[in-house]
């Protein structure tokens, strides 16, 4: 009897407690969904878009009639910004340059806070400044004749896999007769190009299988991650209880491929490193590390940090850019007239007797517009990499406390009707004025903005042009089964947007 009375009194108390906790919010916090036990509003976010958080936050913005959604992801106060003007403000304000310290970022960096993408504060400033300053000398941030020549050679090898057929292990998984496997057919030039930037050398064609292993490992990692950290970051103990179901094992497996690849390269460089002569960026970094240790007895530079720096700058090249081109290939299958226009432009500007080069880029505005439209239409990083407020501040009239996670919803910028008019249509001409590329018309931010701007933007834009121009100069694409494609494939959301891998037929042009 006493137990029954106790339970009868306890239940209303628990209901009241949960209700108050669900709607408890900081003063002047943006409107948004209530918090539920354990995961906070994450339950409600998943209910609005289980496999696509971008869609979920768009729906929540419409539901709460707000440009900024405020909620708690677990215990973490979180703001998702849907308004284009406020998105640009977040990306350009220094107080939002912080990064979240979550398990997803720690497990990829020897359980330390290392690298460039996911660090902040003084350490980030020092490492970012050094890497950007000296990587530019090797083509990562500006045009470099040596890198361009290397890219041309890698592109020739890529084309030859289809023209002459597979030669080495791994190639038969990518090329079968006139069929090639997307996006991995594009992998080699992008990854070997970055390796060239770091080490002034590339892997020979006989070792391309190692680069495909790297690309596949990167894909495993990013598809098992999540824009906002996900359940694993909100409840890290899942890695011990449900390592497979939580995605932890796949994250570790995919990331280890990248770490092993660059650990091997860095170890080999260390064995032959001579401080009196810097052969490449890796040498320059090791020299700086040793000098600081002698002068100060400590250093922000370390071998582990060098490995993570290489990993961070390679990650987009091993995943994002090749999927951009794969999605553009898919678009050619959906809208064949685009392929015809690209072919006409290439034949008119370059012809068939030489590969396109970066000098041709200014004279091929339509192809450039197609690449830009692909990155607008399918936003590479839909919710951007989450930012963290470094101090108490305000945004859009609301208070933002220090430590708040702030996410710039780039899809809302790229699909805003007031900016684009018809954003739901894939229309490269939106970037052209009188047939010429008009950069004033490109309001997209596929690489972010501000000090968190993707450092590889210049490399990515140049290399995507080189690779795709040569690809389209040589081939006409069609579906593997010869049937017209009537609808796009589903989008897969991880850190970046991808599509399912697919086979495509490459016909030699007449």
Binding residues for heme are 454
Question: 183 preceded by cis ω (within 30°)?
Answer: yes
Tokens 């496997």 belong to: 181
Residue 141: left (phi > 0), alpha (psi -120 to 50), or beta? left
Tokens 């490399």 belong to: 459
Locate the DSSP E strands across 285-347.
none
Tokens 């354990």 belong to: 38
End-to-end CA distance of the chain: 90
Nearest Cα to 192, choosing from 11, 337, 58, 314?
314
Residue 117 phi/psi, 5° resolution?
A: -65, -40
- In sequence order, the β-bridge partners of residue 81 are 68, 408
Nearest Cα to 197, choosing from 246, 141, 159?
141
Tokens 């990155």 belong to: 375
Order of strands, edge to edge, in the sheet holding 76-81? 68-73, 76-81, 405-408, 387-388, 98-99
Structure token pair of residue 142 = 């500006």
DSSP state of 297: S
Report the alpha-carbon distance of residue 111 to residue 350 in Å, rounded: 49
Nearest Cα to 300, choosing from 114, 105, 97, 106?
114
Contacts for 60 with CB less than 8 Å, ≥ 6 apart: 32, 33, 44, 45, 48, 69, 80
DSSP state of 36: B
**How remote is the C-alpha of 444 from its chain's centroid?**
15
**String of DSSP letters for 220-274:** HHHHTS-TT-HHHHHSTTHHHH-TTTTSHHHHHHHHHHHHHHHHHHHHHHHHH--
Residue 248 phi/psi, 5° resolution?
A: -60, -45
Residue 192 phi/psi, 5° resolution?
A: -65, -30
Tokens 């052969």 belong to: 279
Order of strands, edge to edge, in the sheet holding 502-508? 175-176, 179-182, 502-508, 475-479
- Can you say which residues are annotated as belonging to the binding site? 454
């Amino acid at each position: 009897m006493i137990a029954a009375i106790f339970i009868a009194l306890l239940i209303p108390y628990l209901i009241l407690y949960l209700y108050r906790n669900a709607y408890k919010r900081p003063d002047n916090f943006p409107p948004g969904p209530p918090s539920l036990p354990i995961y906070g509003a994450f339950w409600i976010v998943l209910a609005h878009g289980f496999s696509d958080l971008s869609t979920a936050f768009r729906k929540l913005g419409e539901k709460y009639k707000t440009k900024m959604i405020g909620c708690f992801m677990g215990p973490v106060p979180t703001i998702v910004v849907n308004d284009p003007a406020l998105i640009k403000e977040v990306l350009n304000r220094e107080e939002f340059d912080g990064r979240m310290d979550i398990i997803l970022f720690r497990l990829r960096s020897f359980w330390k806070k290392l690298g460039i993408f996911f660090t902040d504060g003084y350490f980030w400033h020092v490492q970012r400044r050094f890497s950007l300053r000296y990587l530019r000398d090797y083509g990562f941030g500006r045009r470099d004749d040596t890198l361009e020549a290397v890219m041309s050679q890698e592109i020739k090898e890529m084309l030859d896999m289809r023209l002459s057929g597979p030669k080495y292990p791994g190639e038969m998984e990518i090329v079968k007769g006139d069929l090639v496997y997307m996006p991995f057919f594009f992998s080699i030039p992008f990854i070997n190009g970055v390796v060239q930037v770091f080490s002034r050398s590339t892997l020979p064609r006989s070792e391309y299988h190692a680069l495909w292993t790297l690309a596949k490992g990167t894909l495993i990692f990013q598809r098992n991650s999540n824009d906002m950290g996900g359940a694993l970051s909100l409840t890290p103990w899942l890695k011990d209880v449900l390592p497979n179901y939580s995605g932890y094992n796949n994250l570790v497996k995919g990331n280890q491929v990248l770490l092993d690849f660059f650990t091997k390269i860095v170890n080999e460089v260390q064995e032959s490193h001579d401080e009196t002569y810097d052969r490449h960026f890796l040498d320059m970094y090791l020299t700086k590390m040793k000098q600081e240790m002698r002068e100060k007895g400590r250093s922000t530079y370390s071998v582990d940090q060098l490995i993570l720096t290489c990993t961070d700058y390679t990650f987009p090249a091993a995943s994002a850019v090749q999927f951009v081109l794969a999605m553009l290939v898919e678009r050619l299958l959906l809208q064949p007239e685009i392929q015809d226009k690209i072919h006409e432009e290439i034949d008119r500007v370059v012809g068939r007797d030489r590969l396109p080069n970066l000098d041709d880029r200014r004279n091929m505005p339509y192809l450039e517009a197609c690449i830009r439209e692909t990155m607008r239409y399918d936003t590479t990083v839909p919710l951007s990499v989450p930012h963290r407020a470094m101090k108490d501040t305000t945004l859009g009239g609301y208070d933002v406390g220090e430590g708040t996670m702030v996410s710039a919803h780039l899809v809302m910028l790229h699909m805003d009707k007031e900016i684009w008019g018809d954003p739901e249509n894939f229309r490269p001409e939106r970037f052209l004025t009188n047939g010429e590329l008009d950069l004033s018309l490109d309001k997209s931010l596929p690489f972010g903005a501000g000090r968190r701007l993707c450092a590889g933007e210049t490399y990515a834009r140049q290399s995507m042009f080189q690779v795709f121009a040569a690809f389209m100069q040589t081939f006409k694409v069609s579906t593997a089964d010869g049937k017209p494609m009537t609808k796009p494939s589903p989008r897969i959301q991880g850190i970046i947007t991808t599509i399912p891998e697919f086979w495509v037929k490459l016909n030699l042009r007449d």
